[in-house]
Structure 1
Amino acid sequence: MELNRRQALGALAAAALLPTRAAFAQQRTLIVPTLGGVWEQFWRDKIAPEFTKLSGANVTLDVGNGRVFGANLRAAGPQKPPYSIVMTNEVFSEGLRKEGFFEQLDLSKLPNYNSTYQVARNTGGYGVVVCYSPVGIGYRTDMVQTPPKRWHDLWENPEFRNRIGLYNFANSAGKMELLLASRLFGKDQYDVDAGFKALADLGQVIQVDFNLSTALASGEIVVAPFDFAEIARLKKQGLPVDYVVPEEGVMAFDQTLNILANGPEKELSYQYANFLLSPEAQELLMRGFYVSPTNTAVKAPNELAYEVPISGDRMSEILQWDWAFVNEHQNELSERWASTVG
């Protein structure tokens, strides 16, 4: 009887500890930088609740963009960063990586890494691309008689003259436009003399930092590099638009995931990273934003074939860029863009 009494008391004591442990788990918080607008809302509605369900931890969102996240990290310094994890365009990730903010990924804590495409791993082991937003050529079907088929058509089709839209150099897509032109008309992506000459040969162009949709909708431009998902959304709204996957390959906005070397909640950040690479999270992102998932187990179904044209074997059509070269020559290239392209 004494033994049973002790067992009962022990069980009661253990039970009394359970709420404390659960409360402790709920107190763990991961600060997650994210883009604003629909991305922020999606993270609040879908990603954060699913991760909380998985880990028992809270998620606090810090809304901004790659430039803002980089400024926040540099203000705090590599030893005391405000985040544990950062997902942003590789052009921003590369610079921060070189400054010592990120650690080489511990792949033993990222089992889903092994299921990603090789194209998503070109960071020397310091990051992994969670998803891509491929960029091809979008155009007005009612204002163009000969639809484009390749990037070269921007230069060769006289219908497009003075009616072309471009992202400006501040946007990572603007940098890709320069490297693409260098590749198309020069020896390689590093032949920026040929690239700038080609961009100048386009004539007058409409440049934006972020949103080309307004100019396309108004007819101010008839063709431009466009995120396929954006064209799909415009088409669903009734605008007479379409896109092509260029023969030479596609540019793409990447979302590279990085772990801060000295960030708080390191183990939680790896849990979160592994979750974002999981088939479940990748499926959510693909259906929410029409992005191309990087987990090989997730491919666009037939009903999303138009919204997500780059998937599966077609992931190899995503062109790769040397962001270290761009960052090293950032000021010079920016000045040349201003004087050459406008």
Structure 2
Amino acid sequence: MASPTRISRRTFAAGSLVAVTGFPNIVRGQTREIFVGGPASPGLTDILFPVIERKHNMKILFEGTNSLINLEKIRANKARPTMTVTMMDDPVLVLAEREKVIRKLPADITNLADVPAAAKPRDAMWANWCQPMCSFSYNSRALPQGLASYNDAWDRKFRERIIMISMRITQAVAPLVAAASYATKKPLDQALKEWGAGIERLKELRPNVIQVSSNAPQAQQLLETGECDLYMAPDSRTTLFRKAQGAPVDQGLPKEGVLAMPAGVALVEGGPNQDLGIAFINEMLNPETQALIARTFWSKPTNAKTVLPPGITFPELIALDWEYFADNRNAMIERFEREVSSR
């Protein structure tokens, strides 16, 4: 079975129609083929998806982008969906549910029975296929011991040595919540609603920030080549995947704790080949596939029957109120871009 196909405008420029939104015009008569939109995480198209393709005799067309852009494209195709499955973070899936562009996961996804309620939100409108760790990543040559605390990033020795991720990307909540926790003395799981104080604290970090980036692969490359010492904050899907490949990076385990990123997967309402989408999601939640996910993405599996591969453990992860985050994200973005990332 061929490896998953990445969709790009250039790829489809000859001989295929491409919607202005960037999604291919999938022919509905085709069988054993689905289009999946999800994160640009390494390991999806070269490790995980080929396993699913071979096992279920299907072809996966995939486009990797961040969750907000993914949602924008689903909205644009609402009248005639081309995507079958979407992989987005919970706060964006909250919006997708409200806009009725995703459908409740059916009982045919039998592995849902072994997923705890917290990992299948809103009565199983979607499921978390894993829980990546999120804190910060660092160049392990520059910082062999890492950082003991998020607050160490404010040290003057890191002047112009930090890349921050854009608030338009969900992982940006990690430095925001850490800053709010420091400012209010509340633990991370109680600090999200104090995000205004977090913005004020992040303003003090500006001298140490060389750039605020929405280009995660580029920021990762700059971290690996030593152009910066800290990257705040990708999650373990990227950081520890690249570490396993020999890159000089590692995941921070600060004393304040590590956040659980809610990596969700859902069926697009009205999308083609729903039976294949159901098989895809059920396989993502299969205990054996969950073990592969844990090993590949260094992310906590959500199926309770999963046996972790030898040598892989996870700290206690901190969950946030993602509905609150979804409701307040635009305000967070506006203040962050005006007061933190602007020069």
**Same-fold call, TM > 0.5?**
yes
Deviation at 1:128, TM superposition (A): 0.8
Find the counterpart in structure 1 of residue 271 from structure 2.
263
Shift of 1:162: 4.0
Which structure has the larger Rg over C-alpha atoms? 1
- DSSP-derived class of the 1:40 partner: helix
**In structure 2, which of residues 175, 180, 183 is the aligned counterpart of residue 185 of structure 1?**
183
Contact 2:127 2:265 in 1 (8 A): yes
Mapped pair 1:33 → 2:37? yes
Distance 1:237 1:27, change over 3 A: closer
Higher helix share: 1
SS of the residue corresponding to residue 35 of structure 2 reads: strand
Q: Deviations over 1:30-62 (max 9, x none)?
A: 43334556423335522222222xxxxx33414
Over 3 Å counting, the alpha-carbon distance change for 1:137 and 1:330 in structure 2 is: closer
Aligned identity (percent) is 22
Partner of 1:165: 163
Instruction: Check if 1:215 corresponds to 2:222.
Output: yes
C-alpha offsets along residues 181-239 of structure 1, whole Å, 9 cap, x if unaligned? Answer: 33442363122220101111223213222133333234332233343454445545655
Conserved 8 A contact 1:196-1:341 = yes
Pairwise CA distance, 1:261: 3.5
Shift of 1:115: 1.6
In structure 2, do the counterparts of structure 1 residues 176 and 236 end up closer, same or farther at CA, with 3 Å as the change threshold?
Answer: closer
Shift in CA distance, 319/51, structure 1 to aligned 2, threshold 3 Å: same
Aligned ranges 1:140-289 → 2 under 5 Å:
140-144=139-143, 147-155=146-154, 157-186=155-184, 188-204=191-207, 205-206=209-210, 207-209=212-214, 210-211=216-217, 212-224=219-231, 225-228=233-236, 230-235=238-243, 240-289=248-297
Write the distance in 1 (CA, Å) between the matches of 2:146 and 2:271: 49
Residues 134 and 318, structure 1, Cα contact 8 Å, conserved in 2: no
For 2:179 and 2:295, how far apart are their aligned partners in 1? 32
Give 3-state SS (helix, strand or coil) of 2:128's partner.
Answer: strand
Question: One-letter code of the match for 1:47?
Answer: I
Report the number of matched residues.
300
| Contact 1:235/1:242, CA 8 A, preserved across alignment | yes
Question: Which residue of structure 2 aligns with residue 333 of structure 1?
Answer: 332
Q: Taking structure 1 as reference, are residues 91 and 298 closer, same or farther at Cα in structure 2, changes over 3 Å only?
A: same
Q: 1:320 to 1:118 in 2, by over 3 A?
A: farther
**Contact 1:293–1:299 (CA under 8 A) maintained in structure 2:** no
CA distance in 2, matches of 1:148, 1:232: 16
Distance 2:227 2:126 in 1: 39
Secondary structure at 2:104 match in 1: coil
Q: 1:325 to 1:35 in 2, by over 3 A?
A: closer
Counterpart for residue 11 of structure 1: none
Q: Residue 20 of structure 1 aligns with which residue?
A: none
CA contact (8 A) 1:144 1:159 kept: no
Question: Residues of 2 paired with 1:234 and 1:119: CA distance?
Answer: 29
- Offset of 1:256 from its aligned partner? 0.6
Distance 1:110 1:260, change over 3 A: same
Q: Secondary structure at the match of 1:139?
A: strand
The 3 A distance-change label for structure 1 pair 230 and 247 is same
Where does residue 90 of structure 2 map in the other structure? Answer: 90
Deviation at residue 68 of structure 1 after TM alignment? 4.3
- What one-letter code is carried by the residue in structure 2 that aligns with 1:72? K
- Compared CA separation, residues 60 and 244, structure 1 to 2 (3 A): closer
Q: Does 1:45 align with 2:62?
A: no
Give distance in 2, aligned partners of 1:145 and 1:292. Answer: 25
Q: Deviations over 1:145-204 (max 9, x none)?
A: 87422323333x453344333211122212443244334423631222201011112232
Distance 2:268 2:52 in 1: 20
Does 330-339 or 223-232 show the bigger shift?
A: 223-232
Q: What amino acid is aligned across from residue 159 of structure 1 in structure 2?
A: K
Cα offsets for 1:4-47 (capped at 9, x unmatched): xxxxxxxxxxxxxxxxxxxxxx9454433345564233355222
CA distance in 1, matches of 2:164, 2:33: 40
> TM-score when scaled to structure 1?
0.75
Q: Tell me the secondary structure at the aligned position of residue 206 of structure 2.
A: coil
Structure 2, unaligned runs of 5 or more: 1-29
Please give the secondary structure, in 2, of the residue aligned with 1:191: helix
The DSSP-based 3-state class of the residue aligned with 2:103 is coil
Q: TM-score, normalised by structure 2?
A: 0.74
Question: Aligned partners of 1:146, 1:283: CA distance in 2, in Å?
Answer: 29
Give the secondary-structure state (helix, strand or coil) at the position aligned to 1:152.
helix
Secondary structure (helix, strand or coil) at the match of 2:132 reads: strand
CA 1:27–1:223 in structure 2 vs 1: closer, same or farther (change >3 Å)?
A: closer
